[in-house]
Amino acid sequence: MKFSYNWIREMVDGLAVEARDLERLITIRTAESEGVEEYGAKGACRARVLAVEPIPESHNVKAIVETEQYGTKTVVCGAPNCRAGIETIYVPLGKKKIAGVESDGMLASAEEAGINRDHSAIVEMAVEQVFTPTDSIIEIDNKSLTHRPDLWGHYGMAREVAAITGGTLTDPVDVSLLPAGDAVIRVASDDPELCPRFSALVFENITVAPSPLWLQFRLSAIGLNPINNIVDMTNYIMSELAQPMHAYDRALLNGDTLTARPARDGERVTALNHEEYALTPANLVIADARGPVGIAGVIGGLDSAISERTTSIVLEAANFNAASVRKTSSALKIRTDASMRFEKAQDPENTTRALARAIALMREVCPGARLAGGVADWKREMPAPPKVRLKLDWLARKLGRPVPAEEVRAILVRLGFGVSDDFEVTVPSWRATKDVSVADDLVEEVGRMIGYDSIEPKPPAVLSTVPPDFPERTYYRRARGMLASQGFTEVHNYSFLSEEQAAQMGFDPAALVHVLNPIAANQSVMRPSLIPGIYANLVENRKHLDSFRLFEIGREIHRRDQGLPEEVPHLAAALYGEESGLLELKRVAEALAAEVRVRPAEARGFEHPRRTAEVLAGGAVVGRLFELHPSFIEGRAAILDLDLRLLQPHERRASKYVPLRRYPSSGFDLTVLAPTRELVGELQDKMAALAGPLLERIEYVGQYQKSDSKSVTFRFTVGAADRTLSSDEVGAVRLGIIEGMRRLGYELTV
């Protein structure tokens, strides 16, 4: 949103703060500013051409000009309208030789002066025309004005500036100009909730022509294109009072009544942007007896637009429901300066003020125009906003510092609030739409005006309490830290999937939790697993990396027969590269929990049929370890999927100190013959159970594959805490293992 410094200064008497200092004050006290831009030709001033001489063999002329600021100058000019007596704009660009003549500066075209886009000739000004051809434009971040509909106009910002600087606010509106008597046109609203106020005036003897230069310059400076005197006047009022207006060619309207009503099924309208729009009852329109002549609060219709043939206009100023305008604007994909203001909930009292301002401006932009009849004004009776009681001791506690009562009163009055002796505050209409309604809002008004930098920062004087223990969060944090320390990168995926993604991983979309209003077409169901998201990460990252490792901690969402869905915390870690990462991920699981084992499992559709296992902790299944099926991804991608709810009870605890053994241990190897598909882990468990209490450690050494069997070698370490084992004791342990395994049907190489 752009604000003209000159425009604000016209409405704040005694404003002595320069534009760049004012921009900083506005940021501190009101809304975030994004900077100040100098607009117009630098150093430009008014000038009068005294004499013109042709330059031989050149289309240029030598002009002698009298400037307001720089005295008499000689300027070379090529404009076709450069002649003696013309009032124009001079720009001091320095001296330069053109066609053999030294030219000191230039005479500016309207485009060069920032007035409009015409560059065919130099500016021609009437003798009585006065305007400053330079300005400073303060740009305010739109997001910081969302809750302040009054600040979408210069008058609202001028009120803030007056309150900040102590200047006197001058109201540009003279409501006494509104004519009395019956209106020659009728206005109505079929839905008071969608259009609580609808006002209009009729002007006759209209001549459509270019606007005065000062008006064109002012609109161009804030980013609006000058069009003609009537349209420019409505845009000027919108930019000044934050009240959008629209002018209709009265001769092109059907009947003498304008009605704000919901559109009917099948109605269409061609807008000023020459686009045709199909309307629904969700769209509010302005209609005459024939049909829609505009989309309410958004854009006018082309069929009743102002043109060079217009001689009589209906000038409309209305108030519309903010949500309705926003929905229509979004549905029809039209974003206009008017819709942006109406979406913020404008002041219903502003419609007739805008018409009064139009009467004053019409005398300048179209001197021959005259009013026809009085004001047509339809409005819903609106109760006054409730008063807000402000307690000064409570205000001091909220702000963190006392503020004298008279200072509080002065601040609120300067901002337009009414304040009684006992500080019962009346909220003005322009702040009562969706802005100020409770005492806390008034605290903010006082706080920002005294300056938050005047409040000494102190910690809150309240006792701090230790928050309740949350073991799950602590466990997740430790898991994240462990994985990150081992080179894994954490990812965060959406909790939503498309039905296609779910079906790809073997989930029935009909059994999943569906989102009623998905944020995107490919996020229509809640994820029943972290695997689809991890798979998408693998596919995307393998385009750029030959190997990588990543993980995610999140929740699976499972449908329940009744009540809310069940959310199950899971950890999914993935390792991609040229070689298998199954053993590395098994080691990760062992680092996360004690007594972790894996055993082969039947593969699901996306898992490798020979490289899939269940993960067990304490004998219970807590997850899966697998490689992705080769048809799903090129390369080798191993994935560890753990249910943290089941895994957490088996978390590895800190190791306790165990003294070094005072007595040496003894060791021996045994090789057992087993079937090819016999699990090494099961063999190890059986042999460990047979070794008895003297067994310190059993380690897998290796295996040798035969045609129909395999030889698996283990190394046993035995010992006692209170003595050195004799050879007979070691032999007894060894013999017990051998005989026990033979009883179980195994052959051993001894």
Instruction: Say how many residues make up the chain.
Output: 750
Instruction: Give residue 159's pLDDT band: very low, low, confident or very high (50, 70, 90).
Output: very high
Domain boundaries, the chain: 2-40+135-169, 45-132, 175-379, 388-454, 471-650, 666-749
Distance, CA of 424 to CA of 673 (rounded, Å):
95
Evaluate if residue 470 carries a pLDDT over 90.
no
Q: What is the pLDDT of residue 487?
A: 94
Higher pLDDT, 466 or 355: 355
Q: Which helix (H) or strand (E) holds 711?
A: strand 709-718
- Gap between the Cα atoms of 153 and 172, Å rounded: 12
What is the CB neighbour count within 10 angstroms for residue 565? 15
Query: Is pLDDT above 90 for 123?
Result: yes
Q: For 558-578, what is the mean pLDDT?
A: 94
Q: Are 342 and 244 in contact (CB under 8 A)?
A: yes
- DSSP-derived secondary structure letter, 18: -
Calculate Rg over the CA atoms of the chain: 41
CB within 8 Å of 626: residues ≥ 6 apart: 582, 603, 607, 608, 611, 612, 613, 638, 639
CA angle in degrees (0–180, nearest 5) for 587-590-594:
165
Taking the C-alpha atoms of residue 257 and residue 316, their distance in angstroms, rounded to an integer, is 12
Question: Which tens digits make up the pLDDT trace of 364-403?
Answer: 999 999 999 999 999 998 888 899 999 999 999 999 899 9
Three-state SS at 735? helix
Count other Cβ atoms within 10 Å, centred on residue 734: 18
Give the CA count within 13 Å in the CB-facing half-sphere of 548. 16
Could you give phi then psi for residue 342, rounded to 5 degrees?
-65, -30
- In which band, very low, low, confident or very high, does the pLDDT at 166 lie, cut at 50, 70 and 90? very high
pLDDT at position 306 over 90: yes
Predicted pLDDT of residue 234: 97
DSSP string, 439-507: HHHHHHHHHHHH-GGGSPP---SS---PPPP-HHHHHHHHHHHHHHHTTPEE----SEE-HHHHHHTT-
- Amino acid of residue 306: I
- Name the region of 223 (left: φ>0; alpha: ψ -120 to 50; beta: rest): left
**Three-state secondary structure readout of 155-168:** HHHHHHHHHHHCCE
CATH match for 175-379 among 3.40.50.970, 3.40.50.2300, 2.170.190.11, 3.50.40.10:
3.50.40.10
Q: Calculate the CA 519 to chain-centre distance.
A: 14
Q: What is the pLDDT of residue 555?
A: 96
Angle between helices 19-29 and 439-450 (to 10 degrees): 150
The span from the CA of 571 to the CA of 478, in Å, is: 12
Residue 129 has pLDDT above 80, yes or no: no
Neighbours of 318 (CB within 10 A): 29
Q: How far apart are CA 694 and CA 665, in angstroms?
A: 10
Residue position matching structure tokens 């409309």: 316
Does the pTM of the predicted model rise above 0.85?
no
Shortest CA distance to 611 belongs to which of 596, 628, 633?
628
Q: Give the three-state DSSP class for 370.
A: strand
The DSSP call for residue 61 is E
Nearest Cα to Cα of residue 627 among 641, 617, 637: 637
Maximal C-alpha separation, the chain: 130
Find where tokens 């069009």 sit.
227
Q: What is residue 355's three-state secondary structure?
A: helix
Tokens encoding 183: 């209106």
Its CATH architecture, for the domain 45-132, is: Beta Barrel (2.40)
- Structure confidence at residue 26 (pLDDT): 95
Which overall architecture, per CATH, does domain 2-40+135-169 show? 2-Layer Sandwich (3.30)
Q: Do domains 2-40+135-169 and 175-379 have the same CATH topology?
A: no
Mean pLDDT of 28-41: 94
Residue 657 pLDDT > 90: no
Q: What is the pLDDT of residues 284-297, one digit of tens each?
A: 999 999 999 999 99
pLDDT of residue 373: 95
Distances from the Cα of 201 to the Cα of 187, 290, 319, 379, 408, angstroms: 10, 20, 15, 15, 41
Which is nearest to 674 in space by CA: 749, 739, 624?
749
Phi, psi of 108 (to 5 degrees): -95, 145
**Does the pLDDT of residue 638 top 80, yes or no?**
yes
Top CATH class of 471-650 equals alpha beta
Tally of helices (H runs) and strands (E runs) in the chain: 18, 37
DSSP-assigned letters across all residues of 294-345: EETTTEEBGGG---TT---EEEEEEE--HHHHHHHHHHHT---HHHHHHTT-
Dist CA 234 CA 619 (whole Å): 79
Over residues 559-573, mean pLDDT: 94
pLDDT reading at 460 higher than 80: no
Band of pLDDT at residue 480, cut at 50, 70 and 90 = very high
| Token duo for residue 354 | 């805008």
Instruction: Tell me which residue of 106, 113, 125, 140 sits closest to 35, measured CA to CA.
Output: 140
3-state helix, strand, coil in the chain (%, to 5): 30, 30, 40
Architecture of domain 666-749: 2-Layer Sandwich (3.30)
Mean pLDDT over 482-507 rounds to 94
Distance (Å, whole) CA 635 – CA 547:
10
pLDDT band per the 50, 70, 90 thresholds, residue 708: confident
Span 38-57, average pLDDT: 93
pLDDT at 127: 76
- Rounded CA-CA distance 689/681 in Å is 12
Average pLDDT, the chain: 93
pLDDT single digits (tens) 683-704: 998 999 999 999 999 999 999 9
Q: What is the pLDDT of residues 231-287, one digit of tens each?
A: 999 999 999 999 999 999 999 999 999 999 999 999 999 999 999 999 999 999 999
Predicted local distance difference test score (pLDDT) of residue 463: 76
The whole-number average pLDDT for the span 732-743 is 93
What percent of the chain is predicted at pLDDT more than 70?
100
* pLDDT digits 0-9 by tens, 659-668: 888 899 999 9
Q: Tokens 């006290």 map to which residue?
A: 29
3 state SS of 193: coil
Candidate CATH numbers 2.60.40.10, 1.10.3210.10, 3.30.56.10, 2.60.40.2550; the one for domain 388-454 = 3.30.56.10
pLDDT value, residue 429: 92
pLDDT digits (tens, 9 = 90+) for 597-632: 899 999 999 999 999 999 999 889 999 999 999 999
CA separation (Å) from 192 to 39, 260, 287, 300, 378?
A: 43, 9, 15, 21, 10
CA of residue 412 relative to chain centroid, distance: 32
Q: What is the pLDDT of residue 578?
A: 87
For residue 362, what is the DSSP state? H
| Helix, coil or strand: residue 607 | strand
